[in-house]
Structure 1
Amino acid sequence: MRGILRLLFFATFVVTGSLAAVLGVDYGQQNIKAIVVSPQAPLELVLTPEAKRKEISGLSIKRLSGYGKKDPNAIERIYGSSVGSLATRFPQNTLLHLKPLLGKSLEDEASVTLYLKEHPGLEIVSTNRSTIAFVVDNVEYPLEELVAMNIQEIVNRADSLLKDRDSRTEDFADKISLTIPDFFDQHQRNALLDASSLATGIKETYLVSEGMSVAVNFVLKQRQFPPGELQHYIVYDMGSGSTKATMFSVLQPEDINEPVVIELEGYGYNPHLGGAKFTMDIASLIENKFLEKHSAIRTDELHSNPKALAKISQAAEKAKLILSANSEASINIESLISDIDFRTSITRQEFEDFIEDSLLEIVKPINDALTEQFGYYNTNISGVSGVILAGGSTRIPIIQEQLVKLVSEANILRNVNADESAVNGVVVRGIKLSNSFKTKPLNVIDRSVSTYSFKVAGESELHSVFIRGSVYPNKTSILTSANKVTSENLVIDLFENDELFQTVTVNSAVVKNSYSSEKCPSGVAYNITFDLSSDKLFSVQEVNSICQNDNDIDESKQIKNKNSRLSIKSEDVKTKRLSPPERLRLYEHIKLLDKQDKERFQLQENLNILESKLYDARNLLMDDEVAQKGPKSQVKNLSEMVKVYLDWLEDASFNTDPDDIIDRIREIGILKKKIEVYMDSSKESLDFKQFKGMLEEGKKLLNAIEDHKNTVENFLSEYGTEFTDTIENVREEFKKTKQTAYISKALSTWDETLTSFKNVISEIDELLVKNVFTEDFREQLFEIKLTFDMYRTKLAEKLHLIKSGDESRLNEVKKLYLRKFRSQKRKEEKLKRKLEQEQSRGNNQTEPEVIDSKDSKGTLLNDKKTASNPTSKEDVLHDEL
């Protein structure tokens, strides 16, 4: 499917901005899926560390006891599939499924109570913004920060994926598009935006309707629709925490070159019906069976044990998945409570009987979407072309049975990937909203599922601004009634579905100072500009005061004469957004944690490398041939090193110096390599003849070094004589000419290498004099040969660089001479012409004028010196170069 989408979206793939990427995230309550799009990775799934397509929504936070010396407050954050198992062992440290709590306060008792029932053992407190925070190991984490950690981890993996695709580019995710339920209110939307703003590198965030994301994916996958024919569909999305029905229409204009139009028609939802609710239902069945079998265990005792409840919940989740494909699921929980192992089974029929009261709720969102359609739409169920299933919970058999009863089997569309349709759609919407790349054109018409209104302080009536079904993004202005000029500030209350969520205070002091009752006898009115953004955020964008004059009854003129914009200040009523200082503090904290994670991962990786090297070395030592014929001292040293370092690894912790680990890896590697080379060279004679040849080879190399020095000296002597009339000190100019940075760095150890090589040559010379080439001395001979080979190779490479560098420096001296020689010649020619002109004026033109002319070869005919000696000093030097 992704191949089809690539063809659809990127047939005209053009980068319109910097080499940055768009990250689309289907941020679900239970699972998270992500896709990144860049020039190097069109529609690339961001896999989890375990190479899975989706990951658990949440994380676990644990104190790092071994990190105490460095930072007593250091923590370890764990993501991915391992988080699920940690919930049963460390329920107080495992923070899962945080999405429903965004924008909530402890006063939202229904939401908080339900969450704690599903996630026992957690400690929740209120922040100074009336939002929710979790306390883990006596440290308070605002909910926005925890969600931001989840988002940041996905961003990091997306950036790593882009780097792996093409290390030559610097692609990174700087824009993120997040799915969000249409029913999320202003506080919930702002909380998610705050969380996203804490992620490093993310500059722009877009909130996209879950239902519209699936609709976009469906339309792009279908590709062809009858031109001019309006078709209606419903996205039935049952996820972990909620169920939504998004009704939309699709219209391919008769001119097929025009973009397809997708328009939201209706919406229904249940914020608490979903997979999590059914999991809790099965958990209740398991709990009832356990208590019936073990009557000694009281309900209160079981409910006060978070680990036991977490184990039951985990078993219920597994049973729910099994019952989607089987008629019965076995339950096996070890040490549920008081060391009691519990085994039972749940049948599908038992489950369906237990949730019978909820069956009508399953199809209610669809009925709501049909009943309360927007605008002029009035489509009944028979006019719906199909119901698109999205969300993992739609796989539950009883859910599909209820849907088939409502819309028939033929109208259930299962050709859309229920797990990935939303993430495919949200990334496309993110591309469109950010205008990052050119894609296949789509005309998406989003409509608000809420009504937004305002009230001016002192009034009792609400004034609707954007009613349910209004297209967004949208902007409009409303003129208030005129009031007497006073010093009181104007206060505007903003409402969403008749619920107050924000108060806007307008500084009216300028009105009092600018207008008098005489100038504005009818008072002052205010022109308020309201905005409903693409993120579906309702706000006051601008307020202007207008003097009401009885003589000026033309309202349009009054508006034209309005004052400059008045300053406004907004304040959330229920829960407040992060303040700039707190946002910065949390942002820096997440960056610090990421840095610590990176250092810890690198440390652990180095420890793993060291452990692997030690076991490889131990395997080498166990080889019979190495034990019998290997270099005894080195074999002994390696054996002791392996034992000591393996013991040391048992106690190694996060306090270990990273450089110490790297040094140990290097030591093991060098010693092991020496033994391997020794074994590979077992056929070498290492006798008098071989070392004599080494001595001759070494002296030959030393002679080559001396020959080069003499060659350079000869050139400098020659240049000193030849260039004496132009360059005062040739040797000084040669010294001042710098080597290239690469050669200069490589030659920084020249003297050390040369000295070491001379020392080993002297050692070989002594060996030849003493003639100690015996089997007992073989190991020492081998060490000397290794040292000789190493320094000979290094010295030969450096000599090559010296020759190259000196040749370049000599050429620079030649070029310097040529520049000075030409400059000198130009001065001589200028002086010569000046003298000739003076002489010509002195002779008062008694001699015929001599006109310089050139022969066919370009030689000046009147220049006797040049004509008689056509090969000048400059020409000779050019030939040499």
Structure 2
Amino acid sequence: MRGIIGLLFFATFVVTGSLAAVLGVDYGQQNIKAIVVSPQAPLELVLTPEAKRKEVSGLSIKRLPGYGENDPNGVERIYGSAVGSLATRFPQNTLLHLKPLLGKSLEDETSVTLYLKEHPGLKMASTNRSTIAFVVDNVEYPLEELVAMNIQEVVNRADSLLKDRDARTVDSVDKISLTIPDFFDQHQRNALLDASLMTTDIKDTYLVSEGMSVAVNFFLKQRQFPPGELQHYIVYDMGSGSTKASMFSILQPEDITEPVTIEFVGYGYNPHLGGGKFTMDIGSLIENKFLETHPAIRTDELHANPKALAKINQAAEKAKLILSANSEAAINIESLFSDIDFRTSITREEFEEFIADSLLEIVMPINGALSEQFGDYKTNLSDVNGVILAGGSTRIPIVQEQLLKLVSEERILRNVNADESAVNGVVMRGIKLSDSFKTKPLNVIDRSVNTYSFRSSNQSELHDVFVRGSVYPNKTSILSTEADPTTKNFTIDLFENGKLLETVTVNSPAATSSYSFKKCPSGVVYNITFGLSSDRLFSIQEVNYICRKEDDENESKQPKNKSNRLNFSSEDVEIKRLSFSEISCLREHMQLLDKQDKERFQLQKNLNILESNLYDARSLLMDDEVVQNGPKSQVEKLSEMVKVYLDWLEDASFDTNPEDIISRIREVGILKQKIELYLESSKEPLNLQQFKGMLEEGRKLLQAIENHKNTVEEFLSEFETEFADTIDNVREEFKNTKQPAYVSKALSTWEETLTSFKNSISEIEKVVAKNSFGEDLRERLFEIKLEFDMYRTKLEEKLLLRKSGDESRLTEIKKLHLRKFRLQRRKEEKLQRKLEKEQRGGENETEAVGNNSTDDKSAFFSDKTTESNPTSKEEILHDEL
């Protein structure tokens, strides 16, 4: 939590918009970490259901027994730590580490082959958009939907956390900030954005560079930088699936009141080197040792067994973690293949020797960041102030050894939490980008690691728009393509690093028809406005046509307006984005699964409560005091209930009626409570004297109810006389006057409770009349007393509410009378003034003819002022309210 506390110095959480929350998610290949920010939860880690700080990236989808293939109710989704163990039992149902496949197609053999090697047994398919889908139990799930499920589960936990902080809060996550590697191309970025669009209630999504997230966190943690001195740092981030080196400059102006600037200046990466590769290397060692020990088993036989491979991979991951702190790791795999239990060990020396050929790859991203700096930056390694380690795989000893060969120990910065620096930074960037809260000023200069170009339909060469190192978000306009009067449309192809992204078709007849040769003797050209968004998406924002001038320098300065804008449409090439209708359909499917998961979770929770209550009841029945002194009939009843309900639980399933479970929980609870209360009442006499006292208490309560009823009746009778001139029907007004909702709800069962209380008094009267007391009747007497006490308590509470409600209604009748009375009085006063004015007008009619018109106006305005007395008007309005 120290990193989070440090961040509190950065943000002053003053809400600038509605009560909503920003969720920062470090969406890693192997793990997911999240922090939520709202007025109720400033920088709060979103823990897993097991109270862990990071979540497994992925889920398992299983079909419940007894459901058909196409029955949507038969799907169960499992998240969290349980997913890891399911990978060895149900590898074909467990979908882990999906991130590297985003925006990819099955044609990408490298990515697909590596993935299936690490996750055997899964079945892939190609969608109609050339993207990847997984087939689970004959149901096809687009990759974007599976990622969206993972994100939605994190959003749901964040919302639950906010609700737990304050049940009255209306805060919920509506903005999400996601980490993304800089090397991710536009297809991968679009896929992640599509996944976010499927999540419920998310209005805005921000894609934030992983390196920039760590750099922001580093700045916030350090807080002190030499004014006026440009410093350089490299973020070395080795995660599960990739390794990145991002170089940044940090400048604190000499005027320390000015904001600090963080600028992205260099980048190098390896998309396939990471902890996952090292796990697979250890897995290869385990596999080799197993095959050497059992030569009769062929390699292809082992590789054809997904469960065996999943067990090897799981054992390899555990061994990798052990070898980070020890020189040797023991391997124990039960029933690895054909019921063979396998035991061996892997030493750190064996592992390091096995990967010796790829050791140089560990530091290559740093060399890449230095050699591929943006623009005019030419910083040497000796000028770098420090290398910040991020990502869990930087803890691997051989990785640190290779880094120390390149960078001195004192420049390896370990004061940033390698696991949580990215999530701390991404949530702060999300806050800044969303402008949800006021924060300390910070200038962030992000740059693209790719080059974006275009080519028009009548051209053969590419024209760069945003070259590598361009700042984004960005926008620029370029003049291109002279209009051809014979062509209705023309196309513009958009490229990323020379790879075709999409084709834009421009509808151009308006240009050739609106501008004649006389108007534009030099012809018509197109002005294309390109944009590179804050999510680093390249697109055309606007196309205009303008007259060509002889002076080319003035062409771009010509004004553009709505009348010369051209319509255009775009289409993705090869890999396509989800359409809005497809996203809506997938969102509905997810919401259905969420609803089923919630119902299943609540059902299982209630089943657990019932089971726990039954075992508690069984323990109570075995208590010596209950056995010796408990109410026999109740004890026998509860004993039978426990036996029957425990047997019933054995067959309970998802299609069990939830009301049955709740009813059984209530029955067990009531019976158990009765036995406990009976034992507590063992010192009570339950004799004639006690029952006579109860009878007296009951009659007093009934008399109090009658007295209140008479009091209300007296008031209504008085009001009928006193308010006859203002209220036509006092009793009807009293009846129709609304009470507070909680009062009316509580009093809705008044008659039912009163009747039950009177019945309990009748039972007491019978017992007293017959003098039916004794130890053999004690259980029956206890039941009568218990019922009397219960209904008496309920009735006393309701009587208090009834008194309060009736008093409130009588007060409203008085207020109504006063309002109407005042209104009548004002009407009478107004009428009186009018009559007096008419009388004065008749007496002075002759004199008025010669009077000055100014006097008439004065009199008129005077009358109007008197008639429209502001104070009186305000009073009337106030009374009416």
- Aligned pairs for 1:301-700 (under 5 A) are 301-516=301-516, 519-548=519-548, 555=555, 564-700=564-700
The alpha-carbon deviation at position 836 of structure 1 amounts to 9.8
Contact 1:546 / 1:561 at 8 angstroms: preserved in 2? no
2:774 corresponds in structure 1 to 774
The alpha-carbon deviation at position 812 of structure 1 amounts to 4.6
Q: Quick one: distance in 1 between partners of 2:556 and 2:122?
A: 59
Asked if residue 170 in structure 1 is aligned to residue 189 in structure 2, the reply is: no
**In the alignment, residue 678 of structure 2 is paired with which amino acid?**
Y
1:7 corresponds in structure 2 to 8
Distance 1:726 1:227, change over 3 A: closer
Q: Quick one: distance in 2 between partners of 1:148 and 1:494?
A: 28
Contact 1:243 / 1:271 at 8 angstroms: preserved in 2? yes
Contact 1:240 / 1:276 at 8 angstroms: preserved in 2? yes
Distance 1:616 1:274, change over 3 A: same
Of 280-289 and 692-701, the range deviating more from structure 2: 692-701
2:868 corresponds in structure 1 to none
1:866 corresponds in structure 2 to none
Of 551-560 and 347-356, the range deviating more from structure 2: 551-560
The alpha-carbon deviation at position 795 of structure 1 amounts to 2.8
Secondary structure of the residue that 2:444 maps to in structure 1? strand
Contact 2:4 / 2:424 at 8 angstroms: preserved in 1? no
Contact 2:237 / 2:245 at 8 angstroms: preserved in 1? yes
Contact 1:545 / 1:563 at 8 angstroms: preserved in 2? no
The alpha-carbon deviation at position 57 of structure 1 amounts to 0.9
Q: Quick one: distance in 2 between partners of 1:441 and 1:830?
A: 64
The alpha-carbon deviation at position 6 of structure 1 amounts to 3.2
The alpha-carbon deviation at position 66 of structure 1 amounts to 5.4
User: What is the CA deviation profile of residues 358-388 of structure 1, one whole-angstrom value per residue up to 9, with x for unaligned ones?
Assistant: 0121111111211121111112221111111
**In the alignment, residue 283 of structure 2 is paired with which amino acid?**
A
Q: Quick one: distance in 2 between partners of 1:526 and 1:26?
A: 42
Distance 1:66 1:160, change over 3 A: farther
User: What is the CA deviation profile of residues 525-544 of structure 1, one whole-angstrom value per residue up to 9, with x for unaligned ones?
Assistant: 11111111111111111111
- Aligned pairs for 1:696-707 (under 5 A) are 696-707=696-707
Contact 1:757 / 1:792 at 8 angstroms: preserved in 2? yes
User: What is the CA deviation profile of residues 603-631 of structure 1, one whole-angstrom value per residue up to 9, with x for unaligned ones?
Assistant: 11111111111111111111122122211
The alpha-carbon deviation at position 657 of structure 1 amounts to 1.0
Distance 1:549 1:654, change over 3 A: same
Distance 1:431 1:744, change over 3 A: closer
Of 702-711 and 286-295, the range deviating more from structure 2: 702-711
Secondary structure of the residue that 2:416 maps to in structure 1? coil
1:745 corresponds in structure 2 to 745
1:38 corresponds in structure 2 to 38
Q: Quick one: distance in 2 between partners of 1:251 and 1:737?
A: 69
Instruction: State TM-score, norm by structure 1.
Output: 0.91
Contact 1:57 / 1:96 at 8 angstroms: preserved in 2? yes
Of 107-116 and 779-788, the range deviating more from structure 2: 779-788
Q: Quick one: distance in 1 between partners of 2:840 and 2:142?
A: 97
User: What is the CA deviation profile of residues 492-547 of structure 1, one whole-angstrom value per residue up to 9, with x for unaligned ones?
Assistant: 11111111121111111222432445654543311111111111111111111223
**In the alignment, residue 8 of structure 1 is paired with which amino acid?**
F
Q: Quick one: distance in 2 between partners of 1:200 and 1:841?
A: 74
Distance 1:799 1:428, change over 3 A: closer
Q: Quick one: distance in 2 between partners of 1:560 and 1:816?
A: 65
The alpha-carbon deviation at position 164 of structure 1 amounts to 1.6
Of 240-249 and 792-801, the range deviating more from structure 2: 792-801
Contact 1:66 / 1:654 at 8 angstroms: preserved in 2? no
Q: Quick one: distance in 2 between partners of 1:718 and 1:562?
A: 75
Distance 1:793 1:583, change over 3 A: same
Contact 2:329 / 2:347 at 8 angstroms: preserved in 1? yes
Distance 1:663 1:833, change over 3 A: same
The alpha-carbon deviation at position 326 of structure 1 amounts to 1.3
1:250 corresponds in structure 2 to 250
Secondary structure of the residue that 1:360 maps to in structure 2? helix
Q: Quick one: distance in 2 between partners of 1:720 and 1:21?
A: 56
Distance 1:652 1:369, change over 3 A: same
Secondary structure of the residue that 2:228 maps to in structure 1? coil
1:876 corresponds in structure 2 to none
Secondary structure of the residue that 1:13 maps to in structure 2? strand
Q: Quick one: distance in 2 between partners of 1:197 and 1:488?
A: 35
- Aligned pairs for 1:45-124 (under 5 A) are 45-65=45-65, 71=71, 73-124=73-124
Distance 1:728 1:498, change over 3 A: closer
User: What is the CA deviation profile of residues 13-42 of structure 1, one whole-angstrom value per residue up to 9, with x for unaligned ones?
Assistant: 322111211111111111111111222222
Q: Quick one: distance in 2 between partners of 1:239 and 1:557?
A: 48
The alpha-carbon deviation at position 779 of structure 1 amounts to 1.3
Q: Quick one: distance in 2 between partners of 1:620 and 1:771?
A: 33
State the percentage of identical aligned residues.
80
The alpha-carbon deviation at position 548 of structure 1 amounts to 3.3
Secondary structure of the residue that 2:42 maps to in structure 1? strand
- Aligned pairs for 1:190-269 (under 5 A) are 190-269=190-269
User: What is the CA deviation profile of residues 818-852 of structure 1, one whole-angstrom value per residue up to 9, with x for unaligned ones?
Assistant: 566666777788899999999999999xxxxxxxx
User: What is the CA deviation profile of residues 383-440 of structure 1, one whole-angstrom value per residue up to 9, with x for unaligned ones?
Assistant: 1111111111111111111111112222221121111111111111111211222222
The alpha-carbon deviation at position 69 of structure 1 amounts to 12
Q: Quick one: distance in 2 between partners of 1:125 and 1:290?
A: 32
2:876 corresponds in structure 1 to none
Q: Quick one: distance in 2 between partners of 1:482 and 1:725?
A: 88
Secondary structure of the residue that 1:438 maps to in structure 2? strand
The alpha-carbon deviation at position 316 of structure 1 amounts to 0.9
1:279 corresponds in structure 2 to 279
1:155 corresponds in structure 2 to 155
Asked if residue 136 in structure 1 is aligned to residue 140 in structure 2, the reply is: no
Contact 1:227 / 1:252 at 8 angstroms: preserved in 2? yes
Distance 1:259 1:816, change over 3 A: closer
Could you list the runs of 5+ residues in structure 1 that have no partner in the other structure? 845-881
**In the alignment, residue 393 of structure 1 is paired with which amino acid?**
S
The alpha-carbon deviation at position 642 of structure 1 amounts to 0.9
Q: Quick one: distance in 2 between partners of 1:57 and 1:83?
A: 9
User: What is the CA deviation profile of residues 265-322 of structure 1, one whole-angstrom value per residue up to 9, with x for unaligned ones?
Assistant: 2111111111111111111111111111100100010000000001111111111111
Asked if residue 784 in structure 1 is aligned to residue 792 in structure 2, the reply is: no
**In the alignment, residue 53 of structure 1 is paired with which amino acid?**
R
1:868 corresponds in structure 2 to none
**In the alignment, residue 242 of structure 2 is paired with which amino acid?**
S
Contact 1:193 / 1:205 at 8 angstroms: preserved in 2? yes
User: What is the CA deviation profile of residues 644-682 of structure 1, one whole-angstrom value per residue up to 9, with x for unaligned ones?
Assistant: 111111111110111111111111111111111111111
Q: Quick one: distance in 2 between partners of 1:678 and 1:538?
A: 76
Aligned-CA RMSD value: 2.7
Distance 1:287 1:736, change over 3 A: closer
Q: Quick one: distance in 1 between partners of 2:70 and 2:475?
A: 54
Contact 1:485 / 1:524 at 8 angstroms: preserved in 2? no
Q: Quick one: distance in 1 between partners of 2:842 and 2:35?
A: 91
Q: Quick one: distance in 2 between partners of 1:661 and 1:486?
A: 76
Contact 1:66 / 1:655 at 8 angstroms: preserved in 2? no
**In the alignment, residue 582 of structure 1 is paired with which amino acid?**
E
Q: Quick one: distance in 2 between partners of 1:561 and 1:765?
A: 94
Q: Quick one: distance in 1 between partners of 2:443 and 2:124?
A: 44
Contact 2:483 / 2:512 at 8 angstroms: preserved in 1? no
Of 369-378 and 63-72, the range deviating more from structure 2: 63-72
Q: Quick one: distance in 2 between partners of 1:688 and 1:603?
A: 48
Distance 1:718 1:559, change over 3 A: closer
